[in-house]
Amino acid sequence: MSGATPRKPVYLAVYDTLADWETGYATAHLARAGHEIRTVGASTTPVTSVGGLRVQPDLALADVRPEGGALLILPGADLWDTTDDLAPFARTARAFLDAGTPVAAICGATAGLAREGLLDDRAHTSAVSFYLAATGYAGGDRYVDADAVTDGDLITAGPTEPVAFAREILRLLGVYEGEVLDAWYRLFHDSDAEAYAVLEKAAAR
């Protein structure tokens, strides 16, 4: 029996102190669009977010392969700046990008990618330029002062831009585009009531 090719899952990295607010818009709307979200930890041991949420990872990082996923999302976490514990996630991001599988990093995860050398030759953003400069990376001239930046298969954003981060992810995976994507952003970022009508019209098609 023939049918549509199943979508590859979206991998959401989870670790202690992860910033709860940074990926919720993206994962919620990806899931509503039919994308499976699979959480990935250093192991399958439960982790606790900065907001106190306990998360049981679906997979261990060692079991994740770039060809098996549609996207790797790396949220921020205090641990990105206080230990080297999350360096394996940055190395996994390198493997994904080398394989042509997209990566989306926000907040502290951008510093992890900077330390891994993944921002040296790609346009990117973060909280502020000097935050990344403190990592000693060589990509300062590629820093863009924007809410979120997409360069090829890499998306980056700062900690105060979860909606823009989600917008770039939804665009990259083809969930929304054009005026519908713009309306989605205006609704959730600006509380623009007129944008709701555009989304309702698109949903009715």
Distance CA(113)–CA(117), nearest Å, equals: 6
Confidence of residue 4 (pLDDT cuts 50, 70, 90): low
State if pTM tops 0.85.
Answer: yes
> What pLDDT is recorded for position 5?
61
Mean pLDDT of 64-72: 97
> What pLDDT is recorded for position 196?
87
Cα-to-chain-centroid distance, residue 70 = 12
Distance CA(63)–CA(61), nearest Å, equals: 5
Catalytic residue among 30, 73, 107, 157: 107
107 in active site:
yes
Strands (E), the chain: 10-13, 37-41, 47-48, 54-55, 59-60, 71-74, 103-106, 148-151, 154-157
Residue 22 tokens, joined: 């940074």
201 has pLDDT over 90? no
Residues pairing with 124 in the sheet: 143
Candidate from 50-59, 73-82, 188-197 with smallest mean pLDDT: 188-197
What is residue 189's three-state secondary structure?
helix
pLDDT digits (tens, 9 = 90+) for 155-187: 999 999 999 999 999 999 999 999 999 999 999
Mean pLDDT of 189-201: 91
Residue 162 sits at the vertex; the CA angle it makes with 203 and 79, to the nearest 5 degrees, is: 140
